[in-house]
């Protein structure tokens, strides 16, 4: 996602009232940081909110942490470009994995009292897999925080005309202030606030857009009359998404590649997400967090993807782009910004700018709060300074937050010069993620799986994914040689699939050749060695239905299937 430099096309006509509404938002953000500081007395308070938050808060933070610049700009761009098939990123590529995390995996994460996902890795497989996982995760977070910050700065530059370096430092300073003061509580509370402001900005935008095109019927008519025709209106088989010619393979690619390997790898093992659920106040709340999050997650595309589709018929620049007559002044990534420019009056405009800035900052804050936890607990405490008093690690976390922010600012500056490089680096770190789900799921359900199998499976899975990417047409840019005819999303689905299969095969083979860990060390980490009372709240049957994770997951699953049928 590259946004062009300062260009007057996107310049918004913000008034004093709009600036006032944005400023008010910043007062709230910093106020939350100051208030949250008063609740920090142990390192667990700082890194995991003292495991004290209710499920609806951690559930909203769970999806909000992901609702950053890449998501809002990128998914509305997909909506403008390929239409309803974009819904798969939510209904197939997120909701099932979130439900799986809550129902199946969270009992092990929360019940074993680990403080991070890499720490689970260390308890289950020892230090070999742990060190690699902790370092690759920490470095990837710095990189992504930098990319988020860069996007934020380019958007502030385009919308308000601030120079790049001013917005980089201003945004960096705001994020630093509240995460260093209040730790995870401040980050989570801001994510919840951000969620409501984004919804308050994008819902009226969608309604105004629909009103302008003549309602849903008018939108359907205009899209059908457009260059892409009615392929934009159906989500299945989604060839535009996968880049596959065959509809059958496209469906298989979406279900297995996006729905299974990629999304399960991301949602169930990414500590940025899991950390939010770990901050919950009880086992049933921790399990409910991703499940509660799945409800807004399945409906939020209606105010992100649909505006993209509306922009494709309503905004002249995007319409020209679709007809292949764009003059290069805008890209699909600008779709939602152009719609905001054309539809929102002053007042609403201020709320929309506040919402966008909020979401971009929250994305960066999420990366930084996950980074400082993994750095302090998994790298510093484990390998550098072991037996210090607890408040020492809180200080380490604060220092790590400062350093991470400075690094992110420099990464953002680097990204402004070499944006392709950033894309490839992100793809590369994706390869470390691809096999994680295979190792976790085997490790949780197969007590014999050995420590050696843990790191060997991860390493070979990563190599498998890199190999597919190199052989594909464009997954790694100039490094790809084009030996197999795969490109775009299709290539990353196949790469992730290869990582999964190779990881499983290698893990199984290595396990039979090596010695398993003693069973007493695996209690709480492996299904068959964890008594039921460790996995489920003993009084869960006393809770009302809306607080019982499995009931909620069932309702969510029915709803997401219904959405797929209605909008096929």
Partner 1 sequence: MSSDEKSPSESIRQSADAQDARAVRAFDIRTIVGVLLGIYGVVIFIMGLTASDADLEMDAGFNLNLWTGVALIVVSAGFLIWVRLRPLVVPRPGADADEAHLE
Which member of 11, 212, 535, 551 binds partner 1 (CB under 8 A)? Answer: 212
Q: Which stretch binds partner 1 (CB under 8 A): 201-209, 331-339, 474-482, 499-507?
A: 201-209
Which member of 30, 52, 255, 447 binds partner 1 (CB under 8 A)? Answer: 52
23 near partner 1, judged by CB under 8 A: no
482 near partner 1, judged by CB under 8 A: no
Q: Helices H, strands E: what count in the chain? A: 27, 0
75-104: contacts with partner 1 (CB under 8 A): none
State the minimum distance, in angstroms, from the CB of residue 41 to partner 1. Answer: 5
- The tokens describing 512, both together, are 């039979």
Q: Which stretch binds partner 1 (CB under 8 A): 28-36, 121-129, 151-159, 298-306?
A: 28-36
When the beta carbons of 38 and 568 are compared against partner 1, the nearer one is 38
230 near partner 1, judged by CB under 8 A: no
CA distance 453 to 376: 27
CA distance 353 to 360: 11
CA distance 462 to 460: 5
463 near partner 1, judged by CB under 8 A: no
325-364: contacts with partner 1 (CB under 8 A): 343-348, 351
When the beta carbons of 117 and 192 are compared against partner 1, the nearer one is 192
For residue 55, report the phi and psi dihedrals to the nearest 5 degrees.
-65, -35
Interaction pattern, residues 176-195, with partner 1; x per rule: CB under 8 A: -------------x--xx--
State the minimum distance, in angstroms, from the CB of residue 59 to partner 1. Answer: 12
211 near partner 1, judged by CB under 8 A: yes
CA distance 351 to 203: 11
State the minimum distance, in angstroms, from the CB of residue 398 to partner 1. Answer: 16
Q: Which stretch binds partner 1 (CB under 8 A): 208-216, 250-258, 471-479, 550-558?
A: 208-216
CA distance 4 to 12: 16
123 near partner 1, judged by CB under 8 A: no
At residue 280, the 3 state secondary structure works out as strand
Element (H, E) at 452: helix 451-471
Helices (H), 41-163: 43-48, 55-64, 69-82, 88-91, 95-100, 106-111, 117-125, 127-160
Q: Of 106, 195, 105, 95, which is closest to residue 553 (Cα–Cα)?
A: 95
When the beta carbons of 463 and 536 are compared against partner 1, the nearer one is 536
Q: Of 341, 425, 18, which is closest to residue 155 (Cα–Cα)?
A: 341
Tokens 């964890």 — which residue? Answer: 530
CA distance 380 to 361: 26
Q: Is 116 left (phi over 0), alpha (psi -120 to 50) or beta?
A: beta
316 near partner 1, judged by CB under 8 A: no
Tokens 């991470």 — which residue? Answer: 404
Q: Which stretch binds partner 1 (CB under 8 A): 42-50, 89-97, 309-317, 491-499?
A: 42-50
383 near partner 1, judged by CB under 8 A: no
156 near partner 1, judged by CB under 8 A: no
Q: Which residues of this protein are in contact with partner 1, per CB under 8 A?
A: 17, 20-21, 24-25, 28, 31-32, 35-36, 38-39, 41-45, 50-54, 57, 113, 115, 189, 192-193, 196-197, 200, 204, 207-208, 211-212, 281-282, 285, 343-348, 351, 381, 390
């Amino acid at each position: 996602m590259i946004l062009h430099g300062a260009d007057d096309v996107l310049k918004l006509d913000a008034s004093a009232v709009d600036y006032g509404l944005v400023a008010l938002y910043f007062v709230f953000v910093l106020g939350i940081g100051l208030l949250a500081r008063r609740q920090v007395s142990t390192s667990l308070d700082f890194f995991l909110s003292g495991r004290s938050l209710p499920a609806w808060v951690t559930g909203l933070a769970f999806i909000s942490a992901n609702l950053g610049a890449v998501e809002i700009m990128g998914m509305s761009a997909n909506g403008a470009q390929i239409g309803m098939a974009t819904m798969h990123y939510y209904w197939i590529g997120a909701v099932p994995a979130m439900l799986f995390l809550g129902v199946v995996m969270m009992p092990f994460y929360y019940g074993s009292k680990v403080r991070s996902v890499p720490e689970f890795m260390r308890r289950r497989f020892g230090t070999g897999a742990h060190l690699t996982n902790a370092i690759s995760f920490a470095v990837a977070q710095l990189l992504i925080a930098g990319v988020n910050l860069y996007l934020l700065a380019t958007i502030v530059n385009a919308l308000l005309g601030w120079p790049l370096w001013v917005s980089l430092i201003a945004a960096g300073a705001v994020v630093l202030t509240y995460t260093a003061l209040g730790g995870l509580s401040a980050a989570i509370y801001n994510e919840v606030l951000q969620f409501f402001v984004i919804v308050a900005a994008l819902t009226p935008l969608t309604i105004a857009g629909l009103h302008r095109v003549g309602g849903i019927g008018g939108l359907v008519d205009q899209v059908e009359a457009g260059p892409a025709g009615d392929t934009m209106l159906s989500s299945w088989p989604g060839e535009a998404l996968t880049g596959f010619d065959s509809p059958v393979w496209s469906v298989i690619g979406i279900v297995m590649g996006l729905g299974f390997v990629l999304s399960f790898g991301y949602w169930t093992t990414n500590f940025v997400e899991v950390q939010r659920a770990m901050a919950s106040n009880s086992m049933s709340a921790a399990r409910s967090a991703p499940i509660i999050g799945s409800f807004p997650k399945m409906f939020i595309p209606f105010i992100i993807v649909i505006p993209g589709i509306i922009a494709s018929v309503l905004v002249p620049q995007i319409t020209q782009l679709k007809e292949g007559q764009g003059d290069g002044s805008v890209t699909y990534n600008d779709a939602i910004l152009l719609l905001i420019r054309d539809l929102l009056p002053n007042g609403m405009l201020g709320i929309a700018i506040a919402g966008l800035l909020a979401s971009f900052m929250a994305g960066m804050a999420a990366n930084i709060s996950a980074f400082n936890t993994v750095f302090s607990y998994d790298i510093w405490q484990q390998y550098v300074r072991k037996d210090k008093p607890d408040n020492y690690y809180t200080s380490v976390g604060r220092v790590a937050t400062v350093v991470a922010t400075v690094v992110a600012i420099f990464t953002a500056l680097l990204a402004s010069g070499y944006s392709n490089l950033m894309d490839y680096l992100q793809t590369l770190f994706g390869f470390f993620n691809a096999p994680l789900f295979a190792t976790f799921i085997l490790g949780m359900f197969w007590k014999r799986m050995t420590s050696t199998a843990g790191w060997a499976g991860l390493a070979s899975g990563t190599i498998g994914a890199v190999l597919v990417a190199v052989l594909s047409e464009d997954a790694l840019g100039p490094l790809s040689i084009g030996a197999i005819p795969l490109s775009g999303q299709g290539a990353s689905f196949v790469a992730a699939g290869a990582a999964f299969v190779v990881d499983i095969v290698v893990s199984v083979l290595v396990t039979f050749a090596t010695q398993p860990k003693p069973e007493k060390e695996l209690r709480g980490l492996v299904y068959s060695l964890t008594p039921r009372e460790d996995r489920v709240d003993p009084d869960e049957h006393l809770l009302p239905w809306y607080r019982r994770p499995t009931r909620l997951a069932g309702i969510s699953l029915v709803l997401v299937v219904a959405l797929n049928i209605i909008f096929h």
